[in-house]
Structure 1
Amino acid sequence: METLGFLIDGFAVALAPENLIFGLLGAILGTLIGALPGLGPANGVAILIPLAFTLGLRPETALIMLTAVYAGAMYGGRISSILLNIPGDEPAMMTCLDGYPMARNGKAAEALAISAIASFVGSLIATIGLILLAPILADFALTFGPAEYFALFLLAFATLGGITGKNPIKTVVAASLGLMIATMGIDNTGVQRYTFGVLELYEGVDFIIAIVGLFAISELLTFIENRAGKGHETIKVNKLSLKWSDIRAVLPSSIRGGILGFIAGVLPGAGASLGSFIGYTMEKKVIGSKGSFGEGDPRGVAAPEAGNNGASSGALVPMLTLGVPGSGTTAVLLALLISLNVTPGPLMFTQNADIVWGVIAALLIGNFLLLILNIPLVGIFVKLLSVPPMYLLPIVTMIAFVGIYSISNTTFDLYFMTAFGVAGYILRKLEIPLVPIILGLLLGPEMEKNLRHALDISDGDWTILWNSGLAIGLWIFAAVGLILPYIVGPVLRRRMRAANIESAGSD
């Protein structure tokens, strides 16, 4: 009953006119960003963070808008997958397998509608799971001491391989870079570290500047390099002729995919890619020879879409309850919270209950808004794919620069952001993932603070770090999390590539 009361209070926050308007704006912008191949939700949220500061939004309004951008981008990623056979981001890759054949068979509108309905079902299941699980996990996290929190942060770094899916050595290098950047400034003993006499570095590196530079600016540079010029020619979208029987046929697939996706999202480091993959492969096994997977089976569209949207909402559970992001996009949202002086973690459910439950209620409302938007307005979103990037990029760049300047009113931050952007572009060329850098930058200060606190309590005795059953359990999970992604990850990627090759061969 207590949870229900908090949720009702959350609806009061989410239904405030300002929050409702910006939630709707975020859903529309997120869908547009998700439709553009390659941008993805993490870059979309990073690009629009400065807009929240430029408009002077309250913390709950800013978080509602950018969470809606996140959800909208997950919806929008299916558009280019179905019409271009180019996934908007990695989790949308599995949608190509049956979505594009459906479009080739003259059923593009049906494929887009089914994917929107499946996305709605997956997100709805995950949001209900978030409502039920998050308070329990937050209460459990209140038993954590500094040693347990240090082990938890270590677990977050250990599972980075699952989030990035990259070379383990490069992931470690990236995380180390993030931790090094996090130590810049004056520490709590008054010692200057890596400031190089630059006054602006005394307070450390601003999360938002680093994130907008590494994600947004570097993505713009990559976008210019790879896709500057003409837009994409898409398959013509036919008139929608979806029947209730068609929807009923894919509902079980959507429900199964949503549940599996939520579980994958809650697990540290698993992510939406795993959610979409297990949703598709499980559905293929359940249906068996009765299906026509790879040839345009609607259930092959519904299952991965429900899976990746379920995982995206599930990834909010560890971020809100433990302060540990479960995906690249939730790492960006975590930075937003910290920049707004809101401390994510178990105490957030008591100290900032209006923000937490307002966001959860907004997710429920946003799912219905996205469903309403994505079926009748899909033609407008599709037309965006044919717009040359040369018209879109200046607008995105302007938002980033104006937003950053509005935060501190200093040109140093603009130069700093540009430097991060160039560095991010170079790191992308070297195939070094950016998410571990951001995670190191975000969690580094808290990790150091808890380590210092634990050693102060134990008078310098390092054994305090593994002196409780909970801490030992977290260390074990960290060890498993460090090894498992590099065993399962290559197998997962090989199977995803094999599935794509098989689908391409059947075309």
Structure 2
Amino acid sequence: MTETLNGLAYGFSVAFQPENLLFVLIGVTVGTLIGLIPGLGPVATIALLLPLTFNLEPAGAIMMLAGIYYGSMYGGRIPAILLRLPGDASAVVTTFDGYPLAQQGRAGPALGITAIGSFLGGTIAIIGLSFLAPSLATVAGSIASPDMFVLAAMGLLMIAFIGSGSKVKALVAAALGIIVAVVGLDPNTADARLTFGNFELTSGIHIVAVAVGLFGIGEIMFNAEKGFYAGLGKTVLTRVLPTKADWVMSRMAILRGSVIGFFIGIIPGGGGTISSVVAYGVERRFSKQPKKFGKGAIDGLAATETADNASSNSAFLPLLTLGVPPNPVLALIFGALLLQNITPGPQLVNEHPDVFWGVIASMYVGNVLLLLLNLPLIGLFVKLLRIPGRVMAPIILMVAVAGVYSVRNSMFDVLMCIVFGIVGYFLRTFNFDLGPFILGFILGPILEDHFRRSMVLSDGSFAIFFSRPVPLVLMALLLVVVVWIVIDSRRQSRRPTMDHFQEAERSLGGIDTGAAAKQGSRAAAVRDDGNRDPGTRSPE
């Protein structure tokens, strides 16, 4: 306890440095603003802004990226509620009750309760992170290479099995990411691998080029084909703060969502999508008016938003302590740490306490700033949604290309970015989830390094993975999850019809991250529900 409080005190001394406070403010503001753009979401936001952190101090850079992450989670809820355009898969559940509330003229209270719930959920998760992280880092220090290999492999497989869309496609995407990661020189023998005689490829493919290409250029190409959002109509917000009745109805939902989001966030493959679905389902079962869910239940909206933001904060626990990113966004932040020559893991708290404790302390500050930004400035953010997507797309494209070039002043990186933009477009077109790809790219070198070390320790015997308790427990856990998912998928496939939540429950087997694009194309077909009469319900 004393060690944690001392660490937090040091972290706040780092976070309250003027330049770091500025980075946190920039992070949460930019994250909120870019989260407003339907179709981008937090993964694309981090990917696009990753080059900006290259020349910053490590602590400030990661504070800013963390702020962008949970800031974009706040901002992404605004188009989900007002336009029924979810920026990412987790925001799909937000549309179930958020959009009906907006159609009923209660857009203000809907946005207000999400801001308050997100703040409370994030704060509770950060408190849990503060007290669990040091202990887990201490335990993680005794983890050996066989344990790390199985842990990284389990994280990748869990994301494939409980992540988005087809399991086979997710595994294929992860395998492609691993293949791209091994391009370059072998770290042990210096032999060229998959370079095809190209000298530029001997240094490997840079993470910024891969990330910006997949999630930036690829997303723009995909949205251009499906149709950009037309912009918000003349929606007027009156009251922003929820009423006393709204708060009474939502307060327990916020508490339950905070706890659910925290624990699901630290599981590889959990993240916002699963936490949103689970919290929504739990709240529907606790509700005295379950039939109202899907028609404008403010407690359902509060639960899913609270859980989503709680999970986005607790997800930093495995990254900072084990060095294993549990979701695609944290994989990109992992890459940002590598750009700063910092390797996340058990030694981070000792070798770079300013980063470890500074980032945790900055989350307290960032959540307060987000609350102060989101409640009084919601009206301004809504006005920004009136800018059509076709105007924003060229600006985003120019920022993406300039950012990639600025990292190493390399036109080859720009070429690779364009190549991976085309790859990302085709993967999205054929309904492949991009999350496992980037996680495979990040975890590939970790898997290879610890596998080789394990083989050296065991003289080439695979028995080393079955003779230690940690790998056995992890493999048993993975087996249980796989069996449960198979049984659940069969049970769901026997149901001929589904309502909103049943469809979300099925998403535990995989919410399609293309859902945002599908919702976007549907909205493009009607060219903007926001231009309709607020009293008219949009057809399902």
Where on the TM-score scale, by shorter chain, does this alignment land: which range? over 0.9
1:288 partner SS: coil
2:339 equivalent to 1:339:
yes
1:15 deviation in Å? 1.2
2:230 partner SS: coil
1:79 deviation in Å? 0.8
Residues 239-282 of structure 1: per-residue CA shift (max 9 Å, x gap) = 43644564354222111111111111112212211211221221
Cα distance in 2 for residues equivalent to 1:296 and 1:442: 40
2:283 equivalent to 1:275:
no
Cα distance in 1 for residues equivalent to 2:305 and 2:372: 17
1:305 deviation in Å? 0.7
Cα distance in 1 for residues equivalent to 2:369 and 2:501: 32
- State, as a whole percentage, how many aligned pairs show the same letter: 39
Which residue pairs with 1:178 in the alignment? 177
Which residue pairs with 2:133 in the alignment? 134
Which residue pairs with 1:237 in the alignment? 237
1:60-459 mapped onto 2 (5 Å cutoff): 60-162=59-161, 164-187=163-186, 188-228=188-228, 230-233=230-233, 235-240=235-240, 242-244=242-244, 246-289=246-289, 292-459=292-459
1:429 deviation in Å? 0.8
Cα distance in 1 for residues equivalent to 2:162 and 2:314: 14
Structure 1 residues 289, 223: CA separation in 2 closer, same or farther (over 3 Å shift)? closer
Contact 2:261 2:309 in 1 (8 A): yes
Which range moved further: 364-373 or 465-474?
465-474
Unaligned runs of 5+ in 2: 505-536
2:54 equivalent to 1:58:
no
Which residue pairs with 1:22 in the alignment? 23
1:482 deviation in Å? 4.3
TM-score (normalizing by structure 2): 0.88
Which range moved further: 477-486 or 439-448?
477-486
1:490 deviation in Å? 8.1
1:182 deviation in Å? 1.6
Amino acid at match of 1:51: L
Which residue pairs with 2:43 in the alignment? 42
Which range moved further: 226-235 or 345-354?
226-235
Contact 1:294 1:502 in 2 (8 A): no
Cα distance in 2 for residues equivalent to 1:226 and 1:239: 34
Which residue pairs with 1:4 in the alignment? 5
Which range moved further: 487-496 or 107-116?
487-496
Contact 2:156 2:174 in 1 (8 A): yes
- Runs of 4+ residues over 6 Å off in structure 1: 489-497, 500-507
Contact 2:80 2:86 in 1 (8 A): yes
Amino acid at match of 1:257: G
1:181 partner SS: helix
1:237 deviation in Å? 1.8
Structure 1 residues 10, 425: CA separation in 2 closer, same or farther (over 3 Å shift)? same
Structure 1 residues 489, 26: CA separation in 2 closer, same or farther (over 3 Å shift)? farther
Amino acid at match of 1:294: G
Q: What is the CA RMSD across the aligned residues, in angstroms?
A: 2.4
1:345 partner SS: coil
1:349 partner SS: helix
1:484 deviation in Å? 4.0
Which residue pairs with 1:462 in the alignment? 462
1:197 partner SS: coil
Contact 2:240 2:375 in 1 (8 A): no
Residues 468-495 of structure 1: per-residue CA shift (max 9 Å, x gap) = 1122112222333445445547878999
Structure 1 residues 502, 213: CA separation in 2 closer, same or farther (over 3 Å shift)? closer
Cα distance in 1 for residues equivalent to 2:220 and 2:50: 15
1:98 deviation in Å? 2.1
Residues 166-225 of structure 1: per-residue CA shift (max 9 Å, x gap) = 211111111111111121111111211111111111121211211111111111212222
Which range moved further: 223-232 or 316-325?
223-232
Q: Provide the aligned length of Structure 1 versus Structure 2.
A: 505
Cα distance in 2 for residues equivalent to 1:489 and 1:58: 47
1:336 deviation in Å? 1.3
